Amino acid sequence: MTDGIQLVPFEEDSYYQDPAGFFARLRESRPVAPVPMAGRGRAWFITRDADVRAALADPRLANDVHHFPGGGRQRPSEAAGGVHAHLLNTDPPVHARLRRLVWKAFTPRRVARLRPWAQEVAAGLLDEMETAGGVTDLLAAYARPLPGAVLCELLGVPAADRGWISAAVEDYGTPGEADRVTRQLSAYLTELIAARRADPGDDLLSALALVRDYVSEDGSGVGLTDTEARSLAFQIIMGGFGTTVNLIGNGTLALLTHPRELARLRADPSLLPAAIEELLRFTSPLNHATDRFTTQDMTVGGTVIPAGEWVFMAISSANRDPARFPDPDRLDLRRDTSGHLAFGHGIHYCLGASLARVEAEVALGALLARFPGLSLAVPPGELRWRPDSLMHGLETLPVRLA
Ligand code: HEM
């Protein structure tokens, strides 16, 4: 670009390995920072809590690429299998309609019903770990299988298909695999939704297939199209998997590397819900919100971002902003975490936040109760973080069980 805007150097691997360090430097020196970005020319990181919060609620930042200034664009997933018509790819008023319909199907009762089921799955996984003994990769043995199983149960995926679906979702992040996984899941969900429309069960997919907005004159109601129902199911699987895996993985690592806080939690398990909020703040499973673009020139924190530019609102940076949280780099399970942005803010606030909290409570509660001597099996400095801009998660987490 030739508009004279000086880019901030961006070294991908050092960002993946230490996003908190990268964001701390930006918050201090360039809180609204343009960086070079492969495939996009440049993109902007917004890093201070007040700016991130305001930007997440600002309708001038849009998600639907058909609204891109100077001509709409296509999402890659649009070509790859018709799973693009979901909440994070839409702007008002389409977003409001989808969200209203999804809320009717994704009820608090449905989430509450999953808790005992998730407890059983967790107990089974812990049994297997205990039998195997020794050093275990906690991600492979526990943090990944649990959310995969919960999401399949939520949607009503038949037991026979759960194994390959969980494997496919894990493969999605492997370079070159996203299109194949998208097409495979899209074809599968199309068939399953048709089957559920014909013969509904007591699951979220049936509820999505049948949900209606009673706006038509004859009272028959208007529901989700097949593409919308398929896209929402796809988004729930994708949005609910890696995020929760990372909360369990990153959260466990944070506890194991802060023995005083871990001892506090072990001494008082009623601290668990508050501990999870602090782990969400401190370890932020997502580095930033999903990509938005400016629909017009806008000034953020005194800096003008021109129209038609990609913007990343760094929620994990906001969660470590000393202007919001005193001594933010300290893990403190008893601190006031209200207003953390780990689940986002504004109209796109996480749909699955209550389910994620249930899963984390079940996962961490059961893990700590089962293995009182749980410890890291390698020095923390040897752990590697996955090369992913959006998600902040470990490659592996080797732990010793006793
Ligand atoms: C620890 C776990 C989770 C974290 C940290 C998390 C975080 C987030 C964040 C930050 C957003 C907003 C993204 C943005 O504004 O660009 C979001 C949106 C969303 N999340 Fe989650 N999420 C988690 C678990 C889940 C689960 C379990 C589900 C589904 C069962 C889910 C489904 C969604 C959906 C559908 C949206 C889009 C909402 C909308 O656009 O209106 N998430 N999540």
296: left (phi over 0), alpha (psi -120 to 50) or beta: beta
For the CA of 349, the closest atom of ligand 1 is 12
d(CA 318, CA 53): 8
Give the closest residue (by CA) to ligand 1 atom 27: 240
Q: For 286-325, what is each residue's pLDDT tens digit?
A: 999 999 999 999 999 999 999 999 999 999 999 999 999 9
Which residues approach ligand 1 with their CB closer than 6 A? Answer: 87-88, 99, 235-236, 239-240, 243-244, 247, 285-286, 289-290, 315, 342-344, 348, 350-352, 355-356
For the CA of 106, the closest atom of ligand 1 is 30
Calculate how far, in angstroms, residue 63's C-alpha sits from the geometric centre of ligand 1. 14
Asked if 370 and 130 touch (Cβ cutoff 8 Å), the reply is yes
Calculate how far, in angstroms, residue 315's C-alpha sits from the geometric centre of ligand 1. 13
- R_g over Cα of the chain: 21
Calculate how far, in angstroms, residue 47's C-alpha sits from the geometric centre of ligand 1. 20
Asked if 351 and 233 touch (Cβ cutoff 8 Å), the reply is no
Calculate how far, in angstroms, residue 351's C-alpha sits from the geometric centre of ligand 1. 6
Calculate how far, in angstroms, residue 202's C-alpha sits from the geometric centre of ligand 1. 23
Calculate how far, in angstroms, residue 298's C-alpha sits from the geometric centre of ligand 1. 26
Q: Which residues of the chain have pLDDT under 50?
A: none
pLDDT of residue 3: 81
Contacts of 27 (CB under 8 A, 6+ apart): 47, 48, 317, 321
Q: For 236-285, what is each residue's pLDDT tens digit?
A: 999 999 999 999 999 999 999 999 999 999 999 999 999 999 999 999 99
Asked if 90 and 66 touch (Cβ cutoff 8 Å), the reply is no
Cα dist. 198→149, 157, 229, 257 in Å?
25, 16, 15, 51
d(CA 188, CA 81): 11
pLDDT of residue 1: 58
The two three-digit tokens of residue 400, written as one number: 């010793």
Mutation test residue for ligand 1: of 101, 281, 350, the one with most atoms within 8 Å of CB:
350
Asked if 101 and 223 touch (Cβ cutoff 8 Å), the reply is yes
Mutation test residue for ligand 1: of 151, 232, 243, the one with most atoms within 8 Å of CB:
243
End-to-end CA separation in angstroms for the chain: 56
pLDDT of residue 2: 64
Calculate how far, in angstroms, residue 289's C-alpha sits from the geometric centre of ligand 1. 9
pLDDT of residue 70: 84
Q: What 3 state SS string does 342-396 have?
A: CCCCHHHCCCCHHHHHHHHHHHHHHHHHHCCCCEECCCHHHCCECCCCCECCECC
Residues paired with 35 in a beta bridge = 43
184-188 contacts at long range (C-beta below 8 A, 24 or more positions apart): 185/81, 185/83, 185/234, 185/237, 186/80, 186/81, 186/82, 186/83, 186/230, 186/234, 187/81, 188/161
185: left (phi over 0), alpha (psi -120 to 50) or beta: alpha
